[in-house]
């Protein structure tokens, strides 16, 4: 697949997911009387702009790496500070500023973005289910890349996993469960490759700083997907369960990394997302939109984590203010959000570092100066 097509697929994926997320914030904010000054898809220089009947400026910006909603009174697109816009009064601020709203209203606005992502994922999966059928992943696998634990351990594209630690593997979901259960131990797979059967042992742990760190990701994806037509009710039920399963597992994986129960090498960055978008687009319409639903679920789930800067952090702060009946000290909130920013920035940098390491960038850089 060409780099241009892969890039366009990646940009489309990111723009759709971010737009859905920010629309959630916008719609609920408007429903609570908050004025949204700007809704931007992308960052940086504005390519085009149109103002709607509510006075919101809708922008398409040059850098397609996300987007934002600027609420009335925000100092900038991501600020928790409040500033008095020129030409407005205190009464205007009380009516239209998100920061002046009741805690329960701020909570609703904050949680709306992640919820919209989760609902969008369910809708996409239901539509795919009605068009193609509910996906059933066989036990055939696809290895993500040559730097993955799966490839290093001997797994290859097209391998069919028959057993894992003695348990029969009927589909990819059962295999995924066995991988999770094997974290910190050895995973012994019985694999069918062409006409031969092989046993492959994968060490589900790594040594870091003289410590054994469990690993619960080996770098594989479903290699074959069958689609089964079923009723509307079953399609909706399956879609909701899949979204719930993905959300819970991703939150669990992040918490394990934070508590040092899983390796930090499992954290991926923008390059990983680019690879996923490219591979799914190459596999076709169904695969691409399936991956869109998966990433929308992950985006929604991660944003619900109670970390300042993320929506979940705002939910927690708003809940505390609601319970105690008074706003928290502004300096305290700014300090909390700064800590959250450092945490998120650190995770992003870690993801980029891991991506570059997996791409052998540092090896290439070292060879360059030899």
Active site residues: 22
Of the candidates 68, 73, 70, 69, the one whose C-alpha atom is nearest the C-alpha of residue 95 is 73
Residue written as token pair 């898809």: 41
Please say whether the beta carbons of 249 and 242 come within 8 A.
no
Cα separation of 142 and 285, whole Å?
18
- Under DSSP, the state recorded for 81 is S
Q: Please, what's the b/e burial string for 294-315 (b: 16 or more CB within 10 A of its CB; e: otherwise)?
A: bbbbbbbbbbbbebbbbbbbbb
How far is it, in rounded angstroms, from Cα 33 to Cα 221? 45
Q: Contacts from 143-149 at CB under 8 Å and sequence distance 24+? A: 143/219, 143/220, 144/219, 144/220, 144/221, 144/275, 145/219, 145/275, 145/358, 147/219, 147/357, 147/358, 147/359, 147/360, 148/218, 148/219, 148/220, 149/202, 149/215, 149/217, 149/218, 149/219
CA-closest candidate to residue 97, choices 87, 113, 111, 85: 85
């Amino acid at each position: 697949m060409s780099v241009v097509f892969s890039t366009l697929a990646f940009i489309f994926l990111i723009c759709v997911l971010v737009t859905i997320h920010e629309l959630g914030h916008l719609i609920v904010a408007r429903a609570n009387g908050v004025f949204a000054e700007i809704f931007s898809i992308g960052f940086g220089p504005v390519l085009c702009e149109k103002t709607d009947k509510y006075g919101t400026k809708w922008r398409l910006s040059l850098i397609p790496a996300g987007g934002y909603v600027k609420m009335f009174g925000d100092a900038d697109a991501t600020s928790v500070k409040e500033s008095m816009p020129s030409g407005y009064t205190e009464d205007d601020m009380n009516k239209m500023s998100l920061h002046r709203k009741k805690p329960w209203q701020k909570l609703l606005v904050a949680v709306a973005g992640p919820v919209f992502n989760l609902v969008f994922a369910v809708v996409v999966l239901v539509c795919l289910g009605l068009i193609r059928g509910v996906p059933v992943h066989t036990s055939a696998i696809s290895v993500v890349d040559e730097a993955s634990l799966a490839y290093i351990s001997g797994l290859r594209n097209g391998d069919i996993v028959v057993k894992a630690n003695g348990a029969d593997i009927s589909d990819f979901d059962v295999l995924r469960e066995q991988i999770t259960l094997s974290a910190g131990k050895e995973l012994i797979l019985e694999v069918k490759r062409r006409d031969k059967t092989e046993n492959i042992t994968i060490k589900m742990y790594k040594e870091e700083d003289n410590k054994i760190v469990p690993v619960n990701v080996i770098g594989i994806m479903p290699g074959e997907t069958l689609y089964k037509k079923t009723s509307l009710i079953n399609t909706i039920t399956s879609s909701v369960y899949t979204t719930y399963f993905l959300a819970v597992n991703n939150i669990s994986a992040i918490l394990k990394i934070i508590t040092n129960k899983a390796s930090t090498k499992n954290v991926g960055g923008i390059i990983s997302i680019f690879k996923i978008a490219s591979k799914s687009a190459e596999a076709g319409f169904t695969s691409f939109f399936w991956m869109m639903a998966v990433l929308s679920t992950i985006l929604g789930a991660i944003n619900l984590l109670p970390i300042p800067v993320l929506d979940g952090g705002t939910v927690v702060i708003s809940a505390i203010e609601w319970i105690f009946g008074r706003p928290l000290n502004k300096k305290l909130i700014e300090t909390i959000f700064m800590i959250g920013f450092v945490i998120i920035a650190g995770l992003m940098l870690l993801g980029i570092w891991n991506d570059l390491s997996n791409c052998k960038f540092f090896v290439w850089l070292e060879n360059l100066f030899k």
